[in-house]
C-alpha cells in the first residue's frame, strides 16, 4: 500500500493591491485582494524538494502588481489576464485559478473617497489550456425585511419547540456567485444588474421560507439576465428574536428584537438553467 501524492495546488493569497487611475482629473480607484492558486506538475517539490518546476508565490505577487500597472478593468478581466498568464508562461502549470475580492469606494471629490462598506464584489477565474471559466459574485451584502416573511407548516418531532409565525423579521448576509454562458459579457453591467435583481427580489418577495426567498432571488436573476446560466447562493438566517416583554407588562408587537450571533440557520442553494453548459472547472 504505497503512499502517494494526491490533489495539490499552491499560490499567493491575499495580495492587497490598490490601483489609482490618474489619467483624468477625477482619479479612479480600484481596491483588490487577489489570490492565485496553481496546479500542475508539482510532484517533484513535494517528493524530493526539487523546485525546478515551481513558480515562487513571491513571483505571483510581483506579477499581480506588474499587471496592475497596465490597468485593472473589471475584476473578471483582470483575473482572466492573470490566470492565462500563469498557464501560458509556465509549462508545468496545468491550471491557474485567480480569485479577486473588490471593495468599492464612493467619491467625495476628484481625488478623495470614502469606503462604501463591507460588501465585496467577487470574481474567480480558472484557466487551463482547454478553457477559461469565470464565476462572478458578491458577498457581505446584508439584507433585512421587517415583514412579508412567514414560517410555518414544517415537520415536528419530539425536539421541536419553535412556534409557527406568519410575520417575522428576515435578515441575511448574502453571498452569491454566478457563471455566465461564455466570457463575452459586459461584466460591469452584468454585476450591477444581477445585484439589482437579487436585492429587488429579496425586498419584493412574500416569503414562506428563506429557501423560497433564495430560489426567488436566483430565479429573478436567471429570468432577467440571459447571460447568467447558474447562480449559487449562501444565505445565513440572521435570527432576530422577539423579546418577551410580558414580564414587564408590555406587549411586543414585533417591535423589539434581540439580534443573535450564534447559532444561525444556513441556507445554501443553486438555481440553474436546464440547458446550462457543463460547469467544467468553474467552481
| CA dist., res. 199 & res. 44, Å (int) | 49
| CA dist., res. 63 & res. 97, Å (int) | 14
Task: Annotate each residue in 196-215 with x if it binds a copy of itself (CB under 8 A) or - if it does not, as one string.
Answer: ---xx-xxx--xxxxxx-xx
Contacts of 273 (CB under 8 A, 6+ apart): 222, 229, 230
Least separation in angstroms between CB 25 and a copy of itself:
10
| CA dist., res. 86 & res. 94, Å (int) | 9
Place of cell 453548459: 277
| Grid cell for residue 254 | 414585533
233 and 214 Cβ atoms separated by less than 8 Å? yes
Check residue 268 for interaction with a copy of itself (CB under 8 A).
Answer: yes
Q: Catalytic annotation on 85?
A: no
Residue from 24, 129, 184, 261 binding a copy of itself (CB under 8 A) = 261
118 and 44 Cβ atoms separated by less than 8 Å? no
The catalytically annotated residue of 85, 145, 239, 240 is: 239
Residue from 73, 259, 277, 280 binding a copy of itself (CB under 8 A) = 259
Which residues between 145 and 184 bind a copy of itself (CB under 8 A)? 145-148, 150-162, 169
Q: Which residues pair with 165 in a beta bridge?
A: 151
Check residue 3 for interaction with a copy of itself (CB under 8 A).
Answer: yes
Nearer to a copy of itself, 183 or 272 (CB): 272
Kindly tell me the burial class for residue 192, based on how many C-beta atoms sit within 10 Å of its own C-beta (0-12, 13-18, 19 or more). exposed
- Four-residue CA torsion sign, 176, 142, 80, 5: negative
Task: Name which of 153, 146, 152, 150 is nearest 166 in CA terms.
Answer: 150
| CA dist., res. 180 & res. 58, Å (int) | 32
Check residue 78 for interaction with a copy of itself (CB under 8 A).
Answer: no
Check residue 192 for interaction with a copy of itself (CB under 8 A).
Answer: no
Helices 210-224, 187-204: inter-axial angle, 10-degree rounding: 140
Which residues between 114 and 133 bind a copy of itself (CB under 8 A)? 114-119
Which residues between 84 and 113 bind a copy of itself (CB under 8 A)? 89-90, 92, 105, 108-109, 111-113
Q: Catalytic annotation on 45?
A: no
Check residue 45 for interaction with a copy of itself (CB under 8 A).
Answer: yes
CA gyration radius, the chain: 23
Which residues between 218 and 257 bind a copy of itself (CB under 8 A)? 218-219, 222-223, 230, 232, 236-237, 240, 243, 245, 247-250, 252-257
Check residue 47 for interaction with a copy of itself (CB under 8 A).
Answer: yes
Residue from 48, 129, 184, 278 binding a copy of itself (CB under 8 A) = 48
Sole window of 73-81, 127-135, 184-192, 268-276 interacting with a copy of itself (rule: CB under 8 A): 268-276
| Grid cell for residue 137 | 459574485
Sole window of 74-82, 128-136, 142-150, 183-191 interacting with a copy of itself (rule: CB under 8 A): 142-150
The catalytically annotated residue of 27, 45, 53, 57 is: 57
Q: Catalytic annotation on 160?
A: no
| Catalytic residue ranges | 12, 57, 239
Amino acid at each position: 500500500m504505497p503512499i502517494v501524492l494526491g490533489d495539490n495546488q499552491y499560490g499567493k493569497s491575499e495580495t492587497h493591491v490598490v490601483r489609482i487611475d490618474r489619467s483624468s482629473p477625477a482619479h479612479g480607484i480600484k481596491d483588490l485582494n487577489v489570490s492565485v492558486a496553481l496546479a500542475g506538475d508539482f510532484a517533484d517539490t513535494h517528493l524530493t524538494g526539487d523546485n525546478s518546476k515551481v513558480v515562487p508565490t513571491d513571483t505571483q505577487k510581483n506579477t499581480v502588481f506588474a499587471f496592475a500597472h497596465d490597468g485593472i478593468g473589471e475584476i473578471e478581466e483582470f483575473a482572466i489576464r492573470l490566470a492565462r498568464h500563469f498557464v501560458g508562461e509556465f509549462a508545468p502549470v496545468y491550471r491557474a485559478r485567480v480569485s479577486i475580492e473588490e471593495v468599492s469606494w464612493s467619491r467625495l471629490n476628484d481625488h478623495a473617497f470614502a469606503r462604501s462598506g463591507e460588501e465585496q464584489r467577487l470574481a474567480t477565474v480558472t484557466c487551463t489550456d482547454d478553457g477559461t471559466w469565470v464565476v462572478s459574485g458578491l458577498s457581505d451584502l446584508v439584507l433585512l425585511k421587517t415583514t412579508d416573511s412567514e414560517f410555518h407548516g414544517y415537520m415536528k418531532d419530539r425536539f421541536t419547540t419553535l412556534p409557527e409565525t406568519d410575520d417575522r423579521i428576515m435578515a441575511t448576509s448574502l453571498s452569491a456567485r454566478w457563471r455566465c454562458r461564455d466570457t463575452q459579457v459586459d461584466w460591469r453591467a452584468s454585476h450591477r444588474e444581477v445585484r439589482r435583481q437579487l436585492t429587488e427580489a429579496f425586498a419584493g418577495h412574500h416569503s414562506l421560507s428563506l429557501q423560497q426567498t433564495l430560489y426567488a432571488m436566483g430565479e429573478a436573476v436567471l429570468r432577467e439576465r440571459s447571460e447568467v446560466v447558474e447562480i449559487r447562493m449562501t444565505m445565513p438566517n440572521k435570527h432576530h428574536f422577539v423579546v418577551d416583554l410580558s414580564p414587564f407588562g408590555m406587549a411586543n408587537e414585533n417591535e423589539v428584537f434581540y439580534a443573535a450571533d450564534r447559532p444561525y440557520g444556513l441556507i445554501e442553494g443553486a438555481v440553474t438553467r436546464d440547458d446550462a453548459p457543463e460547469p467544467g472547472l468553474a467552481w
